[in-house]
């Protein structure tokens, strides 16, 4: 294949959003007199969305937490403080620079809601650089559905045979396969250390963004 487009998952793959999400959750947990969670341990649950995050908080507390009420309050808190400690994954900025130099189109396809992603993209000063943004609220079906990737490829006018999708969760790889793109598993993301990433059956596995750069060079 000849790569003309690279699409990224967001949380863990493109940006480290874990501390802001953890702090927002712990703020609400403290208000409700629940035990707080460890931010490092929470990372592996972020790809499951708000429901998965609250489910983890329930496990930590050893008792059920009303997810409907908690979810709304958590997301409200997070919406106000989603760009405090969030940073781009180290090395992704260099990948963006390289892609621009190589005239490779790029964008983000995520299940996360646009109101958070847009605020973070603006905070990272990328609103004039990103060429495509597809968020969960734009879609009928979340990943592993290929809907988001297909929409992104339509927006960028590229074919799946020229597109790479990079993600740090099994559903990302499944979405890429369902959309017929080349898939790259980001082992530097929010991946559970107990999980065997090899069984995801991605076309490539990278441990650092620099390794991603080396793969791009192979497909030029």
Q: What pLDDT score was predicted for residue 84?
A: 98
Peptide bond into 122 cis (omega under 30): no
Share of the chain above pLDDT 90, in %: 89
pLDDT at 66 over 90: no
Query: Are the C-beta atoms of residues 190 and 18 closer than 8 Å to each other?
Result: yes
Give the residue range(s) of CATH 1.10.150 domains in the chain: 18-80
- Please, where in the chain does CATH 3.40.50.1000 lie? 5-16+86-218
Torsion of CA 14, 51, 23, 148, to 10 degrees: 20
pLDDT tens figures, 137-148: 999 999 999 999
Count Cβ neighbours within 10 Å for each residue of 27-50 and write b for 16 or more, e otherwise. Answer: bbbeeeebebbebeebbbbbbebb
Q: Cα-Cα-Cα-Cα dihedral of 62, 67, 70, 74, to 10°?
A: 100
Average pLDDT over residues 159-165: 98
Largest CA distance in the chain: 54
Cα distances (angstroms) measured from residue 48 to each of 23, 45, 168, 201: 17, 6, 12, 20
pLDDT at 220: 82
One CATH from 3.10.20.600, 3.30.450.20, 3.40.50.12780, 3.40.50.1000 for 5-16+86-218: 3.40.50.1000
* Averaged pLDDT for residues 37-45: 94
CATH number for the region 18-80 comes to: 1.10.150
Report the mean per-residue pLDDT for the chain: 95
CA separation, residue 107 to residues 5, 10, 126 (Å): 8, 10, 11
CB-based contact 9:168 (threshold 8 Å): yes
């Amino acid at each position: 294949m000849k790569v003309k487009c690279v699409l990224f998952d967001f949380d863990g793959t493109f940006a480290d959003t874990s501390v802001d999400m953890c702090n927002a959750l712990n703020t609400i947990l403290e208000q409700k007199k629940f035990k707080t969670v460890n931010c490092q341990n929470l990372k592996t649950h972020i790809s499951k969305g708000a429901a998965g995050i609250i489910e983890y908080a329930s496990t930590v507390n050893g008792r059920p937490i009303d997810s409907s009420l908690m979810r709304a309050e958590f997301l409200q808190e997070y919406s106000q403080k989603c760009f405090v400690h969030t940073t781009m994954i180290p090395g992704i900025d260099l990948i963006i620079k390289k892609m621009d130099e190589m005239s490779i189109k790029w964008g983000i396809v995520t299940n996360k809601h646009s109101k958070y992603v847009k605020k973070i993209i603006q905070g990272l000063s990328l609103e004039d650089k990103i060429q495509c943004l597809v968020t969960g609220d734009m879609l009928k079906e979340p990943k592993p559905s290929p809907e988001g990737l297909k929409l992104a490829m339509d927006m960028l006018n590229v074919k799946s045979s020229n597109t790479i999708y990079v993600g740090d969760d099994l559903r990302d790889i499944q979405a890429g396969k369902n959309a017929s793109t080349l898939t790259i598993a980001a082992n530097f993301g929010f991946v559970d250390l107990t999980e065997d990433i090899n069984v995801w059956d991605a076309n490539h596995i990278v441990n650092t963004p620099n390794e991603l750069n080396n793969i791009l060079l192979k497909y030029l």
